[in-house]
Amino acid sequence: MAQEVNLNSLKELEREAILQVLYRDRAVQNIEEQRTRKLKTQLQHLRWKWAKSASQESKEKSCARCQRVLGLLLHRGAVCRGCSHRVCPGCRVFLRGTHVWKCTVCFEDRNVKIKTGEWFFEERAKKFPTEGKQETAGAKLLQSYQKLSKISVVPPTPPPLSESQCGRSPCRKITTADILKPLKREDPRCATLPIAKRGHLSASPMPSGSFSAGSRHGSLISINSTCTEMGNFDNASVTGEIEFAIGYCFKTHSLEICIKACKNLAYGEEKKKKCNPYVKTYLLPDTSSRGKRKTGVQRNTVDPNFQETLQYQVDPTRLGTRRLQVSVWHLGTLARRVFLGEVIIPLATWDFEDSATRSFRWYPLRAKAEKCEDGVPQNNGELAVRAKLVLPAGPRKLQEAQEGTDQPSLNGQLCLVVLGAKNLPVRSDGTLNSFVKSCLTLPDQQKLRLKSPVLKKQACPQWKHSFVFSGVSTSQLRQSSLELTVWDQALFGVNDRLLGAARLGSKGDVLGGVDACSQSKLQWQKVLSSPNLWTDMTLVLH
């Protein structure tokens, strides 16, 4: 029996904070109900699909699922213990680690009960048949305050997940301090308190110890909200500036970006005059989730004050190939992101030993930069390969192949050895789980695809893997193109990150501009004009 909860002894803002938590809980329950309803609908469709009609029931014995005719002595089928229907061997699913089986419908029904948690309520009803579904104290409290309370409570949009939020145990008890934490963050009277606790941050040069000492704030690694990297976001008119400082600790090999404040930002929602800004950083060209750092969200302000430090572990020798991207975003309704501006700083020319570079500066926010500025493609490393066209032995045939008069019946093999790569856009930890894909596009649009094994935790991988394309002739290869792409394998094998691509041949658009196009044609012609000889090449990845 749920006990009545009285919040009259609390302050108005405290009651609002508690009701916001209850609203978030109800929103999660609604999402869970929709998921459960979808699973049950799929199960019902599966039952209708394999249901027998009246004419089928009057006929001879058949499988209850696929309607396959069963024999009298052989192939008689077996009765499912769940639904008592006779099914054929093809419609049985054995449970993992046991010799017990169920039919396809009963097995799917079992999965639905496991995914929705209905098995728990069924077992509880067996032990306590008198107890039904009871209303919780939080639900009663929401109903009472919807009728009586004068507080206007709007379900808030949750901020981006941070490492501290992802690391919390789901079984931890929520205390009063946890409930009032978002309340203190939104209270304008408490906005100046964190500055007094962390010390005065002025525009004067800061000693290197100020970056390496003290606690870290904000999100270090975020594993969700990848929609912004895929271009799924809105744009606002870019205005305003951002103030931050950059420092590097040579003892710990850590790059630290101290985000101080922003001013004169554009509204993320112009009609509502609403802006919930937060700052996100990358060390380009790494745009993976591991290389992302984010601050907390400041609510309802165009002049946010963050006072947070974001940190990267990166070797000083790799700073010359990195660019720091600092972007400002608005967190809208239903976690919709709006781009408010960005700043990109090349670290190759940054003097980390000069104290003047460690001071806070104001940087004007700019619109999102294009991937290839001024038509110059981005260099993402180099790929070393060896190629050889293997043709049948014989001086006459080799002479015909070199002169370009080979017949279509003169087929050979294109052998390609991927030796290794260097200067790839590595992750923040300086490693990669890389592999290579090759695609040979023939004149008839037929595509031959091959893939190399994955080399884990190597910044400069050395695959030494061979790709062999058989049954191709010189005349075909002159009108074909070979594309090589280098990938960084994701944690669970989905959303692999493209590190760079290179293309050989004269067919299609060659990556890297006009110079790379002519160089690609010359290298491809050299391979075809020197059959049975290895040709070493270094391809620039774009």
Give the pLDDT of the chain (542 residues) as one tens digit per residue.
455 666 777 777 777 788 888 888 888 888 888 888 888 888 888 777 766 554 555 455 788 888 888 888 888 888 888 888 888 988 888 888 788 888 888 888 888 888 888 888 778 777 777 665 566 777 777 666 654 444 334 444 444 443 334 444 444 444 434 434 443 444 433 333 333 333 333 343 443 444 433 344 444 334 344 445 545 566 778 899 999 999 998 888 899 999 999 999 999 888 888 999 999 998 887 777 778 899 999 999 999 999 999 999 888 888 887 889 999 999 887 778 889 999 999 888 888 888 888 889 999 999 886 554 444 456 778 899 999 988 876 555 555 555 554 444 457 889 999 999 988 887 767 788 899 999 988 888 788 899 999 998 888 899 999 999 988 888 888 888 899 999 888 876 567 888 888 888 865 444 555 555 677 788 888 888 888 899 998 888 88
| Residues 26 and 35 sit within 8 Å (Cβ to Cβ) | no
How many CA atoms does the CB half-sphere of 491 hold within 13 Å? 5
Query: H/E element holding 260?
Result: strand 254-263
Domain boundaries for CATH 2.60.40.150 within the chain: 241-364, 381-392+410-541
Q: At what angle do helices 118-127 and 104-116 cross, to 10 degrees?
A: 80
Tokens of 111: 């999965």
Superfamily of domain 381-392+410-541: C2 domain (2.60.40.150)
Instruction: Name the residue type at position 466.
Output: S
Tokens of 10: 């609390």
Sequence-distant (6+) residues with CB within 8 A of 27 are 155
| Residues 279 and 328 sit within 8 Å (Cβ to Cβ) | yes
pTM: 0.42
Dist. CA 338–CA 478, nearest whole Å? 48
Question: The dihedral of CA 345, 349, 352, 356: what is its sign?
Answer: negative
Q: The domain at 241-364 falls in which architecture?
A: Sandwich (2.60)
DSSP string, 443-473: TTS-EEEEEPPPBPS-SS----EEEEEEEE-
Greatest distance between any 2 Cα atoms in the chain: 101
Three-state secondary structure string covering 201-219: CCCCCCCCHHHHCCCCCCE
